[in-house]
Chain A
């Protein structure tokens, strides 16, 4: 069976309010990946455009981007699975190449969160879940993850300080990432001092510092058939496994509250497809939209047993020099979370790591990398595994 490779990765800087239009923002990630791959638009057989549409004013952005990127007359289409849209884009691009329909496919993720007013944003925030049965109670994304945090604490004794340690790690690496929106240090003191902004309550038990930074940004991943990858690329990174799963949107339909079942199922699929286990992963990017999300990812991915995720962060095993480095690019917490662009940015970090081109955050000689990207409150789970 022929393989599928990533032959180019790119992203824009993640910023608070991008001073341009969405096509210009998306072009930044595309341009970066095309230069990385050394391709021209003529080499791209099809493009997959990924975002969360509630933030878009442009209807059907795929066709608009295709023209702006010089990708006419090739086909393009749009895919969304909330915050995991561009990982779902990778899954689709993988199947387009694997089927033989296309040889080179570009996955472009973007989000201009500042495209809509803060009042419009406030209105959309209330519709982030089951609008018939949950939203009438006044739900918001942080409160759902806060409920998982509370359940994890009750079941395993995970503490607020354990969660703060994850934030401190993210900020350690965010300072080294010139694409990150938040480049300042965060200390345990910041999250424990009641007068500090980072310790301000959002949705108990989560604080401001437990929540990721909103950002505008774009990312691009270019995948190719084995034949094209070998022709175009000096250091192809192979897609070894792609897993994807779902669960009930309404919390009432779920059975587990100490982890995300869609992430566990996606991981099981990806590990089986790659023929590896959690112990074989050398570097990982996980979806830390909130500190508790990274803690649960440690356990859902099998890096730690259920309830023992805190030992990984306490022992610094997920730092760059540790047993299983996680989010050494600052993660969503510091790098920022432009919804549709996030998965592609995570893939970019892993690809640069596997090529040995990650600069100050380079992990020592990794062979296998993993991306865990979640849409909604565990509604969509995507896990992808890459190898040299």
Chain B
């Protein structure tokens, strides 16, 4: 048997079901493990990217640095799902949402502990790391 080549599949830990295992942005998972939600910024033009990208399409370079998503964003919109796709049936109901931080936006879920009656478009929220069963990780939005 030839030696099995080790592959970096950290991204398999992202979310309830991850559909991606190999990505150049795998360090995103390490940041989550350390309690940080991080995006990338192009060292050339300074553009912020969230979700993080390995490549800047403006400079055509891959010279990126990580930045932490901090402070508060404004809730652009949200929807509570009553049905989920395969692998998510045990999660329903849950709400997906989008936060606007100005220089970038973040798509994710609203934390379960936030009462639905208290959610409204335009409200300030912050993004925090959320630990899931089986060592998986994602992030959720909670009231700022």
- Which of B23, B96, B106, B138 is within 8 Å of A139, CB to CB? B96
The verdict on A138 contacting chain B, using a C-beta distance below 8 Å, is yes
A133: shortest Cβ distance to chain B, in Å? 4
The verdict on A272 contacting chain B, using a C-beta distance below 8 Å, is no
Please give me the residue from chain A that is nearest to B107 by CB atom.
Answer: A252
B138 contacts A150, C-beta separation under 8 Å: no
The verdict on B14 contacting chain A, using a C-beta distance below 8 Å, is yes
Query: What is the size, in residues, of chain B's interface with A at 8 Å between Cβ atoms?
Result: 41
- Assembly CA distance A154 to B17 (angstroms): 31
> A88-131, CB under 8 A of B: which get 1 and which 0?
00000000000000000000000000000001001101110011
- Which of A125, A127, A135, A147 is within 8 Å of B77, CB to CB? A147
A132 contacts B19, C-beta separation under 8 Å: yes
Residue among B82, B87, B106 with the highest chain A CB neighbour number at 10 A: B82
- Assembly CA distance A165 to B120 (angstroms): 25
- Which of B16, B82, B98 is within 8 Å of A136, CB to CB? B16
Instruction: Report chain B residues within 8 Å CB of A148.
Output: 77
The verdict on A140 contacting chain B, using a C-beta distance below 8 Å, is yes
Instruction: Report chain A residues within 8 Å CB of B106.
Output: 252
The verdict on A250 contacting chain B, using a C-beta distance below 8 Å, is yes
A10: shortest Cβ distance to chain B, in Å? 34
- Assembly CA distance A272 to B82 (angstroms): 43
Are A138 and B77 CB-contacts (below 8 A) given A151-B121, A252-B105? no
A151 contacts B138, C-beta separation under 8 Å: no
B51 contacts A131, C-beta separation under 8 Å: no
Instruction: Report chain B residues within 8 Å CB of A251.
Output: 98, 105, 107
- Assembly CA distance A368 to B94 (angstroms): 45
A262: shortest Cβ distance to chain B, in Å? 18
- Which of B79, B95, B104, B122 is within 8 Å of A252, CB to CB? B104
The verdict on A201 contacting chain B, using a C-beta distance below 8 Å, is yes
Instruction: Report chain A residues within 8 Å CB of B95.
Output: 204
* Contacts between chains A and B (CB distance < 8 A), count: 123
- Assembly CA distance A133 to B79 (angstroms): 17
Give the size range of A's interface with the partner: 35 or more
- Which of B77, B82, B108, B138 is within 8 Å of A154, CB to CB? B77
Are A119 and B86 CB-contacts (below 8 A) given A136-B14, A250-B107? yes
Instruction: Report chain B residues within 8 Å CB of A119.
Output: 86
B82 contacts A201, C-beta separation under 8 Å: yes
B132: shortest Cβ distance to chain A, in Å? 10
Are A122 and B85 CB-contacts (below 8 A) given A136-B138, A138-B91? yes
A150: shortest Cβ distance to chain B, in Å? 5
A202 contacts B83, C-beta separation under 8 Å: yes
- Which of B19, B81, B83, B121 is within 8 Å of A135, CB to CB? B19
Are A137 and B108 CB-contacts (below 8 A) given A150-B77, A251-B98? yes
- Which of A126, A131, A142 is within 8 Å of B88, CB to CB? A126
Instruction: Report chain A residues within 8 Å CB of B107.
Output: 133-134, 137, 250-252
A203 contacts B51, C-beta separation under 8 Å: no
B88 contacts A138, C-beta separation under 8 Å: yes
Residue among B51, B86, B104, B120 with the highest chain A CB neighbour number at 10 A: B86
- Assembly CA distance A205 to B82 (angstroms): 11
The verdict on A354 contacting chain B, using a C-beta distance below 8 Å, is no
The verdict on A257 contacting chain B, using a C-beta distance below 8 Å, is yes
Interface set, chain A 186-243, CB cutoff 8 A to B:
201-206
The verdict on B78 contacting chain A, using a C-beta distance below 8 Å, is yes
* 6 more CB-based (< 8 A) A-B contacts, given A132-B11, A136-B17, A201-B82: A126-B88, A138-B84, A138-B94, A142-B79, A147-B96, A204-B82
A203 contacts B105, C-beta separation under 8 Å: no
The verdict on B112 contacting chain A, using a C-beta distance below 8 Å, is no
The verdict on B67 contacting chain A, using a C-beta distance below 8 Å, is no
B27: shortest Cβ distance to chain A, in Å? 14
The verdict on B70 contacting chain A, using a C-beta distance below 8 Å, is no
Please give me the residue from chain B that is nearest to A145 by CB atom.
Answer: B79
B80: shortest Cβ distance to chain A, in Å? 4
Please give me the residue from chain A that is nearest to B88 by CB atom.
Answer: A138
Closest 3 CB pairs of A and B: A136-B15, A126-B85, A138-B88
The verdict on A358 contacting chain B, using a C-beta distance below 8 Å, is no
Residue among A126, A137, A142, A147 with the highest chain B CB neighbour number at 10 A: A137
- Assembly CA distance A170 to B96 (angstroms): 29
- Assembly CA distance A123 to B16 (angstroms): 13
- Assembly CA distance A151 to B14 (angstroms): 28
Q: List 7 A–B pairs whose Cβ atoms lie within 8 Å, in order of A's numbering.
A: A127-B19, A132-B19, A137-B109, A138-B87, A151-B77, A203-B83, A252-B98
